[in-house]
């Protein structure tokens, strides 16, 4: 634990977990979708549902979906800002299960192109977050590193192709997680990197046979 785990980041308050963390969850979801968001169904779990409104969690999540940072003074007015930008949103209460962190939200998004995605994120305190789920697949990444998320068929060779491309681009892998629904079914790779991954490399990955979708998160 360091000092930032205690005092939190530079932010618009009142809470690093309910406000700053919520902004980061919204921002991460926006980046993972990869385009402007047209509609968002926002499901609040645990203490986010119980006390979030008083802490401004609802406005913070919308602010993140709009791309605002944790120290942006427009966070308290994010609902009006969303209306101006054409972002339609609705809030709901949900139970994500006993294993879910109490400061969790599930966000179901549709972008301006019709692209859809859903994600579950949790605020861990001190402005730190974790993304727990993407499109129904369990994942685990912090949002502190450039992260590539690859949905693919569970076939031999995909891991080798992806890691070889990253090596060719001199991109070091910080962590790598592999998940699958079952042998020969759908799989997902979550790769946190030490360097940003170029857009043309992501486009190359998306064209590989057996790759269904490529997502990317940049902490910048």
DSSP 8-state assignment for residue 77: G
Residue 16: pLDDT band with limits 50, 70, 90: low
R_g (Cα) of the chain, nearest Å: 17
Strands 37-45 and 88-93: parallel
Q: CB within 8 A of 84, min separation 6: which ones?
A: none
- Count the neighbouring beta carbons within 10 Å of the beta carbon of residue 76: 16
Write down the pLDDT at residue 53.
Answer: 81
Write down the pLDDT at residue 14.
Answer: 47
Residue 1: pLDDT band with limits 50, 70, 90: very low
Q: Look at residue 27 and give its three-state secondary structure.
A: helix
Judged against a pLDDT cut of 80, whether residue 3 lies above it is answered with no
Write down the pLDDT at residue 2.
Answer: 47
Give pTM, 2 decimals. Answer: 0.85
Domain ranges in the chain?
3-135, 147-217
Residue recorded with tokens 């699958």: 180
Matching fold, domains 3-135 and 147-217: no
DSSP 8-state assignment for residue 20: I
- Count the neighbouring beta carbons within 10 Å of the beta carbon of residue 33: 23
Q: Look at residue 164 and give its three-state secondary structure.
A: helix
Architecture of the domain whose range is 3-135: 2-Layer Sandwich (3.30)
What the block records as the tokens of 27 is: 């921002």
Q: CB within 8 A of 150, min separation 6: which ones?
A: 158, 162, 188, 189, 191, 205, 211, 213, 214, 215
The C-alpha atoms of residue 5 and residue 11 are separated, in whole angstroms, by 14
Judged against a pLDDT cut of 90, whether residue 13 lies above it is answered with no
Mean pLDDT within 165-191: 93
- Name the fold adopted by 147-217: Alpha-Beta Plaits (3.30.70)
Strands 173-180 and 147-153: unpaired
């Amino acid at each position: 634990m360091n000092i930032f785990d205690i005092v939190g980041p530079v932010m618009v308050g009142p809470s690093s977990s309910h406000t700053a963390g919520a902004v980061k969850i919204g921002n991460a979801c926006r980046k993972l979708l990869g385009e402007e968001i047209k509609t968002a169904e926002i499901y609040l779990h645990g203490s986010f549902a119980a006390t979030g409104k008083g802490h401004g969690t609802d406005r913070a999540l919308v602010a993140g979906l709009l791309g605002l940072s944790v120290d942006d003074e427009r966070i308290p007015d994010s609902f009006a800002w969303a209306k101006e930008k054409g972002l339609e949103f609705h809030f709901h209460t949900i139970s994500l299960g006993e294993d879910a962190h109490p400061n969790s939200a599930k966000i179901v998004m549709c972008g301006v192109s019709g692209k859809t995605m859903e994600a579950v994120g949790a605020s861990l305190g001190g402005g730190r977050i974790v993304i727990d789920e993407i499109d129904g697949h369990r994942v685990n990444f912090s949002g502190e590193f450039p992260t590539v998320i690859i949905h693919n068929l569970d076939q031999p060779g995909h891991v080798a192709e992806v890691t070889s491309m990253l090596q060719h681009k001199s991109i070091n892998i910080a962590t790598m997680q592999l998940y699958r629904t079952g042998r020969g079914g759908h799989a997902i790779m979550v790769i946190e990197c030490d360097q940003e991954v170029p857009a043309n490399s992501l486009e190359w990955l998306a064209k590989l046979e057996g790759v269904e979708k490529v997502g990317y998160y940049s902490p910048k």
